[in-house]
Amino acid sequence: MYLEHFGLEQAPFTITPDTGFFLDHGSHREAMNVLQLALQSGEGFIKVTGEVGTGKTLLCRMLLNTLDESFVTAYIPNPSLDPLALRKSLALELGIKFAHNIGQHRLLERITRRLLELNGAHRQVVLLLDEAQSIPDDSMEALRLLTNLETEKDKLLQVVLFGQPELDRRLQQNNLRQLRQRILFNYTLQPLDRETLAIYLNHRLLVAGYRGAPLFTRSALKLLHRNSRGIPRLANILSHKALMSAYGRGDREIGSLHIRHASADTEDVRPRSHRLAVASGLLGLAGTGLFTAWY
């Protein structure tokens, strides 16, 4: 692909949430600080929301990697589950063995026993749920009831919800008001401003092994920020395609032309009717298999 052309050791702009590329800066640093402070409190729900592509899953995985041995974590990446399936997923994450046909009451007893064991060993249990906007209402209530489990001094379970803005709207429902009142800390991830986007791109290039002169021109950065709206995932997609466009033309620098090529070929940048023949440079690469391989 273009790695050798630009002196890279690995692809810098993949859309997989790789914690090796985590940027401890701006909104993500603030979100991590809120999460760490909230977990020290040992109580209630914590909520992190953000638009699609703003880095919630990456933040969640980074948090999992940074918690020390005093924490026991349970991670459910797709919590679109009924209450029994949700409890079973939690039980499995906590290493609890149970029969396939176990009832709700018996399963809850085993979860409670395990939580008490971990509390007695001075270990704090944290349940992290990604894509939390998809949790059914009855499972939301099951989560709330799980956080009722406590000793005289400690909550036995903390819950961290990572979700799209739809989660905030759902929590305004009257039937979820009890859970809403349990949310003690919350944070909303923001898109990157232009200055932070430049830092973000340089950081990813550095992690990927780039050691040359600045790769993106000022005009390219300005257009990239406008077209990506500061959303990291979209910026990654456009940057990757811009590198492909530059590679196909033999260019060593990313200019606004390459960003226009990338933008014309990318969903969610502009209406399809506005995508002009300027994408032909990328389409030519598609025939080589380079374009489709990244996806």
DSSP string covering 193-236: -HHHHHHHHHHHHHHTT--SS--B-HHHHHHHHHHHTT-HHHHH
> Could you tell me if residue 34 is inside a domain?
no
Domain stop point among 173, 188, 203: 188
pTM over 0.95: no
In a domain, 204, yes or no: yes
| Rounded CA separation 58/2 (Å) | 25
197 in a structural domain:
yes
Report whether 147 contacts 44 (CB < 8 A). yes
The tens digit of pLDDT for each residue in 9-60 reads 999 999 999 999 999 999 999 999 999 999 988 878 999 999 999 999 999 9
Say if 67 falls within a structural domain: yes
Residue 55 lies in a domain: yes
Residue 49 belongs to some domain of the structure: yes
Q: Is residue 35 part of a domain?
A: no
Q: Are residues 117 and 244 in the same domain?
A: no
Residue 93 structural domain: 42-188
Q: Are residues 160 and 234 in the same domain?
A: no
User: Mind listing the pLDDT tens digit for each residue in 173-229?
Assistant: 999 999 999 999 999 999 999 999 999 999 999 999 999 999 999 999 999 999 999
Could you tell me whether strands 124-129 and 71-76 are parallel, antiparallel, or unpaired per DSSP bridges? parallel
Helix (H/G/I), strand (E/B), else coil: 150? strand
Nearest-angstrom CA–CA distance, 26 and 42: 25
